[in-house]
Amino acid sequence: EADIYQTPRYLVIGTGKKITLECSQTMGHDKMYWYQQDPGMELHLIHYSYGVNSTEKGDLSSESTVSRIRTEHFPLTLESARPSHTSQYLCASRAGNYGYTFGSGTRLTVV
């Protein structure tokens, strides 16, 4: 059973809309990450957090923002969705320097 949850699983939304992708974990992990992955392509890190009130941008230039007000919650927000944002978004968390646990992902389509 997954200990890291992403909602929604699928989302189709119109251009210009504001959206928030939810990610929650019940493992008490301090470190959390957001990745973007197009089908058959590599993972791109877009945001990460070391803990509450900590957020950093990753390698991929992104028009999204994140917040970390609670340890278990790491939502990602797109202020104005565009077709170029169509992708799969994966949330992950980790304890210490162990491997990541990934959520099931949100597949976003912007029309």
Q: Where on the chain is the footprint of other proteins (CB under 8 A)?
A: 31, 33, 39-43, 45, 48, 56, 58-59, 90, 94, 97-105
Residue nearer to other proteins on the CB measure, 14 or 99: 99
Residue nearer to other proteins on the CB measure, 15 or 104: 104
Q: How far is the CB of 44 from other proteins (least distance, A)?
A: 9
C-alpha 100/C-alpha 75 separation (Å) is: 17
Q: How far is the CB of 79 from other proteins (least distance, A)?
A: 23
Closest CA to 5 of 54, 75, 55, 108: 75
Residue nearer to other proteins on the CB measure, 104 or 109: 104
Q: How far is the CB of 20 from other proteins (least distance, A)?
A: 19
Residue nearer to other proteins on the CB measure, 14 or 39: 39
C-alpha 105/C-alpha 57 separation (Å) is: 19
Q: How far is the CB of 15 from other proteins (least distance, A)?
A: 24
